[in-house]
Amino acid sequence: MSGTQIPSGSAETTALTAAIRAGDEEAFNHLAGRHRRELLIHCYRMLGSLDDAEDAVQDALLRAWRYRASLIEGAPLRPWLYRVATNVCLDAIARDERRSVLAAKSVENDTPPSTDEVAWLQPIPDSLIEPISQPISQHAADPETIVLSRETIELAFLTVIQLLTPLQRAVLILCDVLGWSAKEAAGLLDVSTAAVNSALQRARVTLQRRLPSRRPEWPPGADPSVAERELLKKIVDASENADLEAFTSIIRDDAIFRMPPQPDIVVGRDAMFNLWVDEGFGSERFGRLRCVPTRANLQPAVANYVLRPGDAAWRALTLDVLRIEEGIITEIVTFAGAVFPRFGLPLTIDEQAGGERT
């Protein structure tokens, strides 16, 4: 994971925080707005749901404005906003029965609960990530820019950290993802440094046990952008032609398939194919597929539209987010077509218009 220190405030931010304490809402909106996107990603990691993360950020900014007097004079706004946002997320976890039950299981058992219980998982479009995820030169770097590590936003990572206790999750994100020291994290969370170190150690053990083995995404010497386009073309062709045999060469035999919020996890390519066939893939009653490549969680993805018999439009069906190792698919996480608008994709495509892809 990449370590990115939370920087101290500049003279400009010091002046702005003084104005905020004095009740200058314009100054607050100006400075807090700089951090809204990274706060969204922080809340998304904490909660695993984009909808809930957006609500959390909105709540955090309202709460920050309401309690602006607690901002210490001369202190930078950014760490304080992270404190508020983290507490909002912890409150959201406590209010949600699904999350609180999972958290209780994590406390009671040495072995965390299963990933199939993370029913609230949602994808995030790369468009919400890329502005703060692109590598930049150290000399040109804005001191308040986070270089986002891909592995800390992928669905596999997000799923596993939902199995941690809320404290372990917060500590892991603050220390191992954002680069805070144990002392800084302890101050933010109002716990002891020893408690932070203990929670961090437990979180790391869980990740080591539960995260899938990580191999290079593409074989040595491959151009990632070209390799990804070629693989996506194979996926599109296989899907639109309902060609299971074509999928055989691009999906590893021990691949995993899951469909949040459904609890079932299918392990193995053959079991995956059997499920698809049982659901009608390739049959006349199922209809035809039209596929649109996109990206989610810094991973390649495919948006699937279906044209059922008698329909006059292709309708949003599913979004498949792909984990790739050494040029082959090792996991497919499928979400309902309701997420399409998040990715700038329509819910329907008029067949009379030639089925033009968006």
**What is the pLDDT averaged over residues 125-138?**
64
**What is the pLDDT averaged over residues 254-259?**
96
Does pLDDT of 132 surpass 80?
A: no
**What confidence score (pLDDT) does residue 282 get?**
92
Is the distance from CB of 116 to CB of 210 less than 8 angstroms?
A: no
**What is the pLDDT averaged over residues 14-42?**
82
Pair type for strands 265-267 and 251-258: antiparallel
**What confidence score (pLDDT) does residue 295 get?**
96
Does pLDDT of 3 surpass 50?
A: no
**What confidence score (pLDDT) does residue 131 get?**
63
> Which of these CATH numbers, 3.20.80.10, 1.10.540.10, 3.40.1010.10, 3.10.450.50, describes 224-353?
3.10.450.50
Does pLDDT of 155 surpass 80?
A: yes
Parse the chain into domains and list their residue ranges: 11-210, 224-353
**What is the pLDDT averaged over residues 156-184?**
94
Does pLDDT of 209 surpass 80?
A: yes
Q: Say yes or no: do domains 11-210 and 224-353 share a fold.
A: no
Of the chain, the percentage scoring pLDDT greater than 90 comes to 66
CA angle 280, 262, 289 (to 5 degrees): 35
pLDDT per position as a tens digit, 62-106: 999 898 888 877 677 888 899 999 999 999 999 999 988 887 787
Helices (H) and strands (E) in the chain, counts: 13, 7
- The CATH fold of domain 11-210: Rna Polymerase Sigma Factor; Chain: A (1.10.1740)
pLDDT per position as a tens digit, 109-123: 666 677 778 999 999
Helix/strand/coil percentages in the chain, nearest 5: 50, 15, 35
